[in-house]
Amino acid sequence: MNWNITFMYDSLFTYITDRSTTPLKESEFELIKAALIPKKIRKKQYFLQSGDICKYMAFIVKGAMRQYSVDDNGNEHCIRFFLETWWAGDRESYNMLVPSSYNIDAWEETDVLAITKSDHERLNCVPAWLEMKAKLEINDSIASQKRLNTFISLTAVQRYYELQKQYPEFVRRFPQHQIASYLGITKESLSRIRKQMVQNRSSI
Amino acid sequence: MNWNITFMYDSLFTYITDRSTTPLKESEFELIKAALIPKKIRKKQYFLQSGDICKYMAFIVKGAMRQYSVDDNGNEHCIRFFLETWWAGDRESYNMLVPSSYNIDAWEETDVLAITKSDHERLNCVPAWLEMKAKLEINDSIASQKRLNTFISLTAVQRYYELQKQYPEFVRRFPQHQIASYLGITKESLSRIRKQMVQNRSSI
DNA sequence: CGATTTTTTGAATCATATCAACGTACGTGG
DNA sequence: CCACGTACGTTGATATGATTCAAAAAATCG
């Protein structure tokens, strides 16, 4: 292994302490370290394939992944993107132990710390971990609702504009056809929207 | 107060014990009861108005509510519906103490058990409550993601079909123009979709 | 460099929105 | 209990926005 494991654990340590009021004891962090398995996921490699049960939740130390479904016509639909310090995985499959209907793969060389559900549950005795987890779930819930709201109440142009504003990293690091899919439109439509935006900007 | 408070608490008790592996002690349930305030919300009455901070999460014992946003043109966009044994409230506003951008009002005469954030936190010493809460957040997260997926990958017809299948109660208890809004389409479009579905069914 | 992926463009088509009008149901006060 | 008013639902004509398909241009990678 040629990557820096110490850096990976440090990254997670900071993430947890930033998100909890309870301090994290040395012994507790040792428990957490023992539960988390470092993994490398190469570009285009699957972290999860639909039909499988999502065995791990993965804390991304470095890299970028995407979650998507494939419809009856073989079209991919991007559900979400994951970047550094995000947790990747299919919550439903992971928690309910049912086969996932989503794929997750890496779009960049990605380093993660992965944890299984059973190891996860063993960490419930660590207050800082629990607190971080609760915050994570709530934030996820909030983000989902906001995104839903954009679909219900905004046009495609507005959705793209908002995405650029809120997650410029997505636009920078993922190809345009995946961004389009994430917005629920075709790559052709997004291409035209972008063209139109540039024209409008230069005419002001 | 003319409604049956005992029934309300029983309803919540069942809800919690159904969702936790840890049993709920008598003394613990007394704590919970003390934190939860019974409220009646009349039809069309606001439970939350946009601009206000969402002071309560409400466990619905009986009734139906809706959460919606209002856009710049004054159009209402239905974000979600709440029925019996659901928790109503704006998570973002409640947890982050920021003004809500949503309205929540009752569509039927509704009885709830409401709890403030600070009382909520005092119940963190009750394991069954914590477990229920964690399950609730995860389920909410999963449901949001599924709904998102329908917007990205399904047509309006398919979305309506899925809604009928998964939440027939919504279709039964909320007016059609609100269902349309929930699906992200106009009331006219939903009317035409329904007409078309009836025609297709009778032609088989 | 060649091969593959990604993005752009154009033309035809389809789905949904919009606007306006009419029909229907519902509940509230007289 | 009826009549009236308001809210709800339907319909038609037209407009708009997004999709589809096909092809070419541009960017990226080994």
| Banded pLDDT at A198 (limits 50, 70, 90) | confident
Supply the pLDDT for residue A204: 44
CB–CB contact A148 B148 (8 Å): yes
Largest CA distance in chain B: 61
The nt closest to A186 (CA vs C1′) is D19
Mean pLDDT of chain A: 92
Domains of chain A and any CATH numbers: 5-123 (2.60.120.10)
Give the integer Cα–Cα distance in Å for A204 and B139. Answer: 47
Tell whether A69 is within 8 A of chain B (Cβ).
yes
CB-CB contact of B107 with A56 (8 Å): no
User: Taking chain B, what is the end-to-end CA distance rounded to the nearest angstrom?
Assistant: 53
Name the CA radius of gyration of chain B, rounded.
19
Measured CA B154 to C1' D5 distance, in angstroms? 40
Q: Is the CB of A150 under 7 A from strand D?
A: no
Supply the pLDDT for residue A138: 87
Tell whether B163 is within 8 A of chain A (Cβ).
no
- The lowest-confidence range among A107-116, A118-127, A179-188 is A118-127
Residue reference for tokens 């971080």: A132
Tell whether A182 is within 8 A of chain B (Cβ).
yes
Give the integer Cα–Cα distance in Å for A152 and A146. Answer: 10
Contacting residues of A for B152, CB less than 8 Å apart: 77-79, 151, 181-182, 184
Q: How far is B152 from chain A (nearest CA, A)?
A: 4
The nt closest to A155 (CA vs C1′) is D17
Substitution target from A70, A79, A152, A163 for chain B, most B beta carbons within 10 A = A152
Residues 6 or more apart whose Cβ sits within 8 Å of residue B153: A69, A71, A75, A77
Of A79, A134, A137, the CB nearest to B145: A79
**Which residue of chain A is at minimal alpha-carbon distance from B89?**
A142
Q: How far is B4 from chain A (nearest CA, A)?
A: 32
Give the model confidence (pLDDT) of A126-145 as tens digits: 889 988 988 898 898 889 88
Cα A88 to its chain centre, rounded Å, is: 4
Measured CA A27 to C1' D14 distance, in angstroms? 71
- A53 pLDDT more than 70: yes
Cα A141 to its chain centre, rounded Å, is: 13
- A73 pLDDT more than 90: no
Per-residue pLDDT of chain B (204 residues; tens, 9 = 90+): 446 888 999 999 999 999 988 899 999 999 999 999 999 999 999 999 999 999 999 999 999 999 999 988 888 999 999 999 999 999 999 999 999 999 999 999 999 999 999 999 999 888 899 889 888 988 988 898 889 989 988 999 999 999 999 999 999 999 999 999 999 999 999 999 999 988 776 554
- A171 pLDDT more than 80: yes
Contacting residues of B for A91, CB less than 8 Å apart: 138, 141-142, 145
Q: Is B173 exposed, middle or buried (0-12, 13-18, 19+ CB in 10 A)?
A: middle
Q: Which nucleotides of C are covered by protein (CB under 7 A)?
A: 5-11, 15-20
Supply the pLDDT for residue A3: 61
- A88 pLDDT more than 90: yes
Q: Which nucleotides of D are covered by protein (CB under 7 A)?
A: 7-13, 17-22
Cβ within 8 Å of A, B 1-40 = none
Give the integer Cα–Cα distance in Å for B39 and B3. Answer: 10
Strands of A103-106's sheet in order across: A46-48, A103-106, A65-70, A76-82
- A118 pLDDT more than 90: yes
CA angle A193-A198-A201, nearest 5°?
120
Cα B12 to its chain centre, rounded Å, is: 15
CB–CB contact A182 B152 (8 Å): yes
Cα A142 to its chain centre, rounded Å, is: 14
pTM: 0.90
Measured CA B44 to C1' C27 distance, in angstroms? 14
Q: How far is A100 from chain B (nearest CA, A)?
A: 12
